A and B are shown apart, each in its own frame.
Chain A
């Protein structure tokens, strides 16, 4: 296992504008809410962030919900009980206003990028960069053409203050505070994250990108992202995460809400490679109105425990929802991912394709929910989930739930578990590849059709990242 690979992300080098600045690495938190969670913590966050009253009330109500809700250990892993909410810092900011440029990247991360061989010109793909250092956005760069088109791309703090009339009607509507314990936690203490509004008919040609990172020990990150695509608009959003390794567990609990109005197309792409001590408990859901499309494309590598089930509520006729996901779980890691497809209008279609790889003693779990309620017509769901087990101690679980009401729908669910065949390895080795290389090749073959769904610059890195993860897994 390569430590460097574990501890680094997929795309830091991609989006760095190398212009000079004096961005220094950690340790000058001007605002720090301290450890633990209480109404006082909430008030502290509100005061520092100068939240409007409605946000303060929202946060306090959410805290009550969070405290009242039990841990979902009835169905989820007991490992959740190891999260000590009292030693987590819920708010931390360097207090600076968002800046316009990047400077340094830590050496170990640079080294990983070197190994990954990420070419500089990949930066050209990027239309705008929203970066987050700890809780507050530390970097923000939106291309002029976006502004010209009226696209709003700011952090969520600015969004709720400066664009309340657009922000507030949708905020917390796709994912209600009480959806689950962690969405409630996020609602209480959120800071950072993006707010994007794409006006009617605007098709954003290049993907927008945010860059998140955790780099303070025991520090939870609670981004809140809200993206609204107005009628007929189109947007692709990229999100990637890296985290250096620390000794105690770190909690990351984001909430992402997507709204695709009539005829809009919204695609949200995530590549995450958390360090192996992170609890990554994320709630992501989109609403697709008439003839709109919401796609989640998700790659989960790393973390101690990831729980993430992107969902689409297909609210308008002919709306479409899709989740495409790749998960790789190595020793000490549990990727508990899946998809939720809620059909709420006629002729809605959803598609879920999930592939997971368990390496060493890693564990991957798929949980799915497909719901087609009564009195709808012509709804379709297709779900495929395939798991690949690499080593004897690898583990995989699949728990879908599909409810169909009525005789005018069709659903299809297929899942399989397999291994890299010994014959294939033998064949590749006979052609001169080492066992490890042969295994990497086979694993890349397994996810190849999904990797193609990612933008090119991501897919190249994904493949290399998988290779790094596979190092030492055989022999």
Chain B
């Protein structure tokens, strides 16, 4: 029972991005992936979620034994995978409330309808927890939201959909320190022995608030180093340049 990525190779428009990446995130653990720009961090997030622009040319991704690569984007989500987007899309004309409701509805068996009263009660509770104004329920998804509001909205969706594994793609980018604390608080409240997290970030800062169990360094499409949370501090101090002397961990 884990999110297991084995020797993953992917390419886009003929360019290889991930070159044999392997990683295992068991439930209950928080794994952080750090790496310089262009190392393949966001590609990893999109490929795991099933973005159609990326071609998987080798390797496997399984979630609790289920082959994710066989599933469509939405099937992966319903199976329990959640991706918090680095750049959440604006969806004009679709309100936040309807959007999350549609996602919840999709998880119910055919013919079963959502209990609207219970749904709104839960939605408002979680919005309150994240400090999101209740009026946001009637606003179009992410349209006109600030960077911080978009990221809070991602965490709100995560809380409402209760996934088994969360992949967080640079959730800290564009956040000031107060927003970062709120977002991290939301994530921490969801930590549980049944749920695994893969937190992708460029900076160590986020990991002060979401404490990882393991830290992996991604460079040129491969994990080049893994360690405890101290590795993040070391990276912060030395910068990514010291990686150049590293040789990839054999997989």
A–B: direct contact at CB < 8 Å:
no
Residue numbers of B with Cβ under 8 A of A are: none
